[in-house]
Structure formats: C-alpha cells, structure tokens
Amino acid sequence: MKKLITVIFTLCFMTSVQATEVAVLDFRAALLQSNIGQEAAKEPKQKVAAMDARLKSEQESLEADANNLKRDELTLSEEEFKKRRAQLAENQNKIRNMAANMQRQAKELEQQLIQSLTPKGEAALKLLIEERKLDLVLNRQLSLYASGASDITDELVERINKDN
C-alpha cells in the first residue's frame, strides 16, 4: 500500500512540475558582434578615432607648452610667467572639457547604433526563443551564475547574420 501511494504521489508530482527553459544573453554584444553591427559601427568608429586623434594632438601641444614654460621659467619675468601659467591652466581645462565631450559623443553614437540595430536583433531573438522553446531569457550581466550551455549570445549573433 505504501508503495502504491508513493507511486501515485510521485506521478502526480512529476506531472505538476514543469521544466523551465532558461537562457542568458548579452544582447548588446550580440548586436555589435553581428555582421550588420560590424558594418554599422564603421562610421561611428571612424568618428571616435578622429576625436581621439584630435584629443591626442591637443594633449601633446599642451605637454609641449608645459615643458617650454618649465624650461623658460627662470628667464621670464614674474608677470609673464604667471600669464603663461594661467594660459596653460586654461588650456588644460579646455582639454578636459573636450575629453568629456568626446566621451559623451562616443556614448551617444553607440546608443544610436544599438537603437538602430535593436529591431533586427529582437526579431532574431524572438525566432530563437521559439526554436529553443525558452520560457525565460535573462540579461547575462544580471545573472550570478550561468553555465556556458545556457548562454545564447553566439546563437543570436549567428541568427542575426543568417537573417540579414
């Protein structure tokens, strides 16, 4: 009798428990690693590289001015030294502002890129979810642990490449 009750309980329990298919995904990385993401990122990358080159040039100029001021310190009048030091400080502030501005612009370019690619990525993800019969997809950065088998980022990249 005990065995029969145990078997019935086990059968009832097994039918009430459903397996939940869970996967993790780095959606941003999948978009940027896909062929369309790589192609779309070319222009923003060029803009960022041009901004970096300009910033580097300004920093080198500032460094040269600082070295010149240090070299000429003993030969300049106190008034001229203070004037050049103030100009140097002003240029340093301009470069700091330029760097902050460039970082902001680079972030905006990346956000625009992600926004433009998101509809295609979401469509590919929807198909992947249906194919794998997933019940839940989590952002990889938010999960404490996920096995490599549960990460579908590479599969999404392949799907985006295939569909576009």
pLDDT of the chain along its 164 residues, tens only?
555 455 454 545 444 445 578 999 999 999 999 999 999 999 999 999 999 999 999 999 999 999 999 999 889 899 999 999 999 999 999 999 999 999 999 999 999 999 999 999 999 999 999 999 999 999 988 888 888 889 999 999 999 999 88
Task: Provide the Cα torsion 34, 36, 41, 43; round to 10°.
Answer: 160
Q: Specify the amino acid at residue 101.
A: N
pLDDT of residue 73: 86
For the entire predicted model, the pTM comes to: 0.70
pLDDT of residue 54: 95
Six-digit token pair at 16?
Answer: 């009430």
pLDDT of residue 143: 82
The 10 Å Cβ neighbour count of residue 159 is 21
pLDDT of residue 148: 84
